[in-house]
Amino acid sequence: MRFWAYSSITWPEVSFLAEDENGKIVGYVLSSVELAEDYSRSWVGHINSLSVLRTYRRLGLANRLMDMSREAMMRASVQIEYIQLHVRRSNRAALSLYRDKLGYKFHRVEAKYYGDGEDAFSMRLPIRSGRPRVRQRRTWVAILAGYIISSPGRLAKTATRCVKGINSVS
């Protein structure tokens, strides 16, 4: 839960919650922007976690959340080279989403990445270079079907309370 709070406070404009018409959280994408692993001066986006309630799957919600996060990362105050994520080797649904629908490419295998010893695929989505750098003030907004939340504190509080009930896609 600390990681949720850290990410939502550090890079709140690249993480999003999806809520139904009653305000119930039905999905989220938790993302961040950091320096590249090789300690170069390159910035990269990270999809740290993506989850959608089982009853809301196969409706395009995960795809929409990922698109919103990607677009927000591309508008961030730093220019990113690529977006990276990790996915369980056995998670066929997530692999299909990331590879076939969103265009992520395999980067490498991370042996025993998960606590249960399962390997992860590290995947990357290259971001076109040469685009103009756009500076945007750091704000946070979560949007789904016109419902808007603009409080990072509410994200952290609500996520801490509700994320345990969501089955992870990644």
pLDDT digits (tens, 9 = 90+) for 129-168: 544 444 433 444 444 333 344 444 454 444 444 333 443 4
Token pair belonging to 126? 């290259």
Whether 142 is covered by a domain: the verdict is yes
Parts of the chain with a pLDDT under 50: 130-153, 155-170
The pLDDT of residue 64 is: 93
* CATH at residue 36: 3.40.630.30
Domain limits for position 61: 2-165
Question: What DSSP character marks residue 167?
Answer: P
Whether 170 is covered by a domain: the verdict is no
Whether 50 is covered by a domain: the verdict is yes
Distance between CA atoms of 156 and 97, rounded to whole angstroms?
Answer: 26
Whether 30 is covered by a domain: the verdict is yes
The pLDDT of residue 39 is: 64
Is the alpha carbon torsion for 65, 71, 76, 82 positive or negative? positive
Instruction: State how many domains the chain has.
Output: 1
CA-closest candidate to residue 121, choices 92, 84, 89, 91: 89
Whether 149 is covered by a domain: the verdict is yes
Q: Which residues pair with 147 in a beta bridge?
A: 144
Whether 104 is covered by a domain: the verdict is yes
Whether 42 is covered by a domain: the verdict is yes
Token pair belonging to 115? 């606590």
Whether 36 is covered by a domain: the verdict is yes
- Which residue type does 133 have? R
For residue 63, what is the enclosing H or E element?
Answer: helix 61-74
